[in-house]
Structure 1
């Protein structure tokens, strides 16, 4: 097999299909063990002023696996990880695999209703969580779930800096002081690791089609669904990342994407395990802390939402020199305005490659290859999300399921080794979303005659303004061209005359000021009359998911008419 880095990216497509990639490991646990054997004393995790070697993570995850088995975890049992970006997430994940279990990722922004739903749907019997998240959220619902053991831990572990921007007011809450509903035991992770230190769990054999993770969809089109990300899905995409993005042991992975999210799991944890590149963690995203982590640990690679890059551009005192190590940047999760990519390159001298994937594709299915520049569609101004990567078949289909030719807009459909087998305990949803194993993404887009793909929007986000179709991202891209606009999100709102009309919510760059009327006029002069926003509302911050995706559904709820 010819390594991707050894040949120009265009050569991969001269025959219309990229080279084949074979994952070197059948399962993610073997991948982790391979990394430990190759470089046991290499740094696995940087966390503020603390670090853990691969041997450290191996030893600690052995102890945790033994503790899980002692707590009654059986083969295939589910263990929920309700954590921020802390080393305990990695230790817990590997320990779950060593015990033969399935990890369930839970968004740390989730509140009582969501936590109860995910714990119940997954059938998790053990919950690993931050002390404050248990006290403030999970403790009130855990007795109504299958959970019988709660393992609490603190973000103050494995570091001593206690950065006040993140940890002001954070104190330890011993497990014995936590509420323990009837039938639920609450134990401290540090105590468990010490109690079982030096133990080795019985050997376990995992297969490519065994479920490694239950990663829940965001629930934008209904209740969250647990995508069954298999071990083979994870190892394939880790290897594809390694080659497509040219990642090696000399790189350092910037873990800005949340670890509970499929991007953080694969582009962060799995890629670090495979390549030997250290993983930089800093609890959660705070722009100033994030820039300090770049200065201190000199990461080279990351995948982050475009809102993260926008925030980094607005950190006072950050310079191009600070970002000189960051040579391999990708962004996914939301459409990227070409103007933002250019602004980042102008400010920091670094190009942001586009990338596209879903929870159901175990992170990417398409990406702009390292060293290539994404084309911009002349008609729509959309920036391409890239080319289908190794062994991935992608096509555009109409409402009748038939394949559409280049240039025509339809639903993006994907098949390949990264596509999951389906949703946990949801056979009807699985059959509808994965006909014949092909994922119907719900994303609307098109392919040009060179094989580059472009995203128009989600089907459900289309606005019908007096019979004219308006895609929010096209309006957003225009608004991003205004120098005062930091973030923009467009939704459809009721209108007596047109049935529905276009409304934009924006936040502004520091030091800039603009009125809604000025933004409306700006957009009106740059797009068709039926597309420009009739309403603009300026907010301090736009609501986002933990992965940085703008939440249009929350904005729709405001329905404010000026």
Structure 2
């Protein structure tokens, strides 16, 4: 099914229910269908043809989703651009994606003018000025009514969105997701999370990432729920929003749950409507999960997915046994395997690379055929994530292939060390990477931040680890920082810590 038909079905089914909210503005399913029809007609008037790319540069807002769906309805492919990117990063994505049109806002005018000479294929830039109430008010100049939209023949395998993600190639890589990917994943996500029409969620994760688009947006769209859009994450504001809008489930990354946990201790907000937190994007420490559930009186559903999977591969069952520290079971209609270095399936309890296949799988990377061939083999997507599986079929991520530390012939998985560090009462955040060692090849190094008012020495951290870890897993060094580098979604960036050197006196 293509997304035009998919959205029509939801508009017909949920009509006057509220789909999107931001501040005091609400848009029903029916209104969203009408607005995006008229905007799509405007894009066709501007010359957009089937398959052409349109870039979208907005902070999290109603404009972002109005733009995405109008581009798709017009037959185009969406190219999200992160508003926190530098001009250099924006120029690369605009040029690499071959975007013909850019929809953006006035605050980005200076950056866009700076990089325009580097984007020769970008023929039209449409700004929402400060005086314009929305991007709809700008585009409607080119289409008098929704009926002006011309039908477009789109198939399930046609491109819908190309998400640019950070990679090891030195530049972002464009992951192609199709109409079929989303029309499958939306209902599958809604089913896996147990979403209902009366559910209300928050989209505070950046809408330039698949997690935000797949889970809160398409999950809600598939179940008739409501999405409250927030421009950026700020723990106190999110807690206030939970009370004000009656939020029932919150999707976020582990650092967000950490911030919420500590902020709630100091606030008197009423969060009785919240039944579930949804954690993905990185590993959530078991210690934080248990503490958060106790303090909030809501459970956390740990899930696993990546851009290449349109957001979901495994999930703990919403109505069943949830295992702390596990990413759960394989979701419906998706297949998974764990393979060793030789491509053979590993035994139960052994570590292997997690691969998957199914209707959620990407068709490849934009203009990188070699990487596509390396990543997708016989329909299986090789994730690069290392995992193990227990006797009940639950998966546990132990690290990334590229983050595996081999020290003196032993395999050390950073996640195991981080779990131990998170149990120390003084430690707020932790990340472990491998650093070069002349004798052992690599050794673990821990980077930590501390809770306010706490202090601890490197020696004390190492002594603490000795109680719980084999000798070869104990960090060789511990570096205490004020903060750890994070992505725009809040994930700790291990690769930025990887450059640390062993001190000369170690």
TM-score range, shorter chain: over 0.9
Preserved CA contact (<8 Å) 1:28 1:270: no
Tell me the alpha carbon deviations over residues 178-214 of structure 1, each in whole angstroms, 9 at most, x when there is no partner.
xxxxxxxxxx763333553524311223221111111
Match of 1:347 in 2: 295
Preserved CA contact (<8 Å) 2:15 2:29: yes
- Could you tell me how far apart the structure 1 residues matched to 2:226 and 2:177 are? 23
- Could you tell me how far apart the structure 1 residues matched to 2:269 and 2:479 are? 36
Distance 1:249-1:320 versus aligned 2 partners, 3 A rule: farther
Of 143, 154, 161, the residue aligned with 1:213 is: 161
CA shift for structure 1 position 319: 5.8
CA shift for structure 1 position 297: 0.7
Match of 2:140 in 1: 193
Matched, 1:277 2:219: no
Distance 1:189-1:522 versus aligned 2 partners, 3 A rule: same
Preserved CA contact (<8 Å) 1:262 1:359: yes
Tell me the alpha carbon deviations over residues 407-426 of structure 1, each in whole angstroms, 9 at most, x when there is no partner.
22111110111111212222
Preserved CA contact (<8 Å) 1:87 1:158: no
- Could you tell me how far apart the structure 2 residues matched to 1:197 and 1:253 are? 33
Matched, 1:74 2:49: yes
- Could you tell me how far apart the structure 1 residues matched to 2:500 and 2:234 are? 26
Matched, 1:116 2:91: yes
Preserved CA contact (<8 Å) 1:83 1:108: yes
- SS of 2:195's equivalent? coil
Preserved CA contact (<8 Å) 2:326 2:394: yes
Of 426, 430, 434, the residue aligned with 1:492 is: 434
- SS of 1:208's equivalent? coil
CA shift for structure 1 position 510: 3.1
- SS of 1:295's equivalent? helix
Distance 1:150-1:319 versus aligned 2 partners, 3 A rule: same
Distance 1:132-1:465 versus aligned 2 partners, 3 A rule: farther
- Could you tell me how far apart the structure 2 residues matched to 1:157 and 1:348 are? 40
Match of 2:33 in 1: 58
- Could you tell me how far apart the structure 1 residues matched to 2:378 and 2:186 are? 25
CA shift for structure 1 position 459: 0.6
Choose 50-59 or 71-80, whichever is displaced more. 50-59
- Name the structure, 1 or 2, with higher relative contact order (CA <8 Å, separation 6+): 1
- Could you tell me how far apart the structure 2 residues matched to 1:128 and 1:556 are? 37
Match of 2:115 in 1: 141
Distance 1:147-1:241 versus aligned 2 partners, 3 A rule: same
Distance 1:194-1:462 versus aligned 2 partners, 3 A rule: same
Of 185, 201, 204, the residue aligned with 1:256 is: 204
Matched, 1:531 2:486: no
Preserved CA contact (<8 Å) 2:420 2:468: yes
Distance 1:205-1:155 versus aligned 2 partners, 3 A rule: farther
Distance 1:118-1:430 versus aligned 2 partners, 3 A rule: same
TM-score (structure 2 length as normaliser): 0.93
Match of 2:2 in 1: 27
Task: Name structure 2 gaps, 5 residues minimum.
Answer: none
CA shift for structure 1 position 139: 2.9
- Could you tell me how far apart the structure 2 residues matched to 1:506 and 1:156 are? 45
Summarize the alignment of residues 32-431 of structure 1 with structure 2, pairs less than 5 Å apart.
32-135=7-110, 137-145=111-119, 146-153=121-128, 190-193=137-140, 196-199=143-146, 200-220=148-168, 222-315=170-263, 322-375=270-323, 383-431=325-373
Choose 225-234 or 505-514, whichever is displaced more. 505-514
Tell me the alpha carbon deviations over residues 270-322 of structure 1, each in whole angstroms, 9 at most, x when there is no partner.
12222221111111112222222112111112321111101111215556963
Distance 1:542-1:95 versus aligned 2 partners, 3 A rule: same
Summarize the alignment of residues 470-485 of structure 1 with structure 2, pairs less than 5 Å apart.
470-485=412-427
Q: Please report the RMSD computed on the Cα atoms of aligned residues, expressed in angstroms.
A: 2.3
Preserved CA contact (<8 Å) 2:45 2:143: no
- Could you tell me how far apart the structure 2 residues matched to 1:212 and 1:482 are? 45
- Could you tell me how far apart the structure 2 residues matched to 1:374 and 1:262 are? 24
CA shift for structure 1 position 366: 0.4
User: How many residue pairs align between the two structures?
Assistant: 502
Task: Name structure 1 gaps, 5 residues minimum.
Answer: 1-25, 160-187, 377-382
Preserved CA contact (<8 Å) 2:386 2:401: yes
Preserved CA contact (<8 Å) 1:254 1:300: no
Tell me the alpha carbon deviations over residues 356-405 of structure 1, each in whole angstroms, 9 at most, x when there is no partner.
011111000100010334335xxxxxx21110010111011111212222
- Could you tell me how far apart the structure 2 residues matched to 1:153 and 1:352 are? 38
Match of 2:384 in 1: 442
- SS of 2:399's equivalent? strand
Choose 310-319 or 474-483, whichever is displaced more. 310-319
CA shift for structure 1 position 58: 2.4
- SS of 2:79's equivalent? strand
- Could you tell me how far apart the structure 2 residues matched to 1:414 and 1:520 are? 38
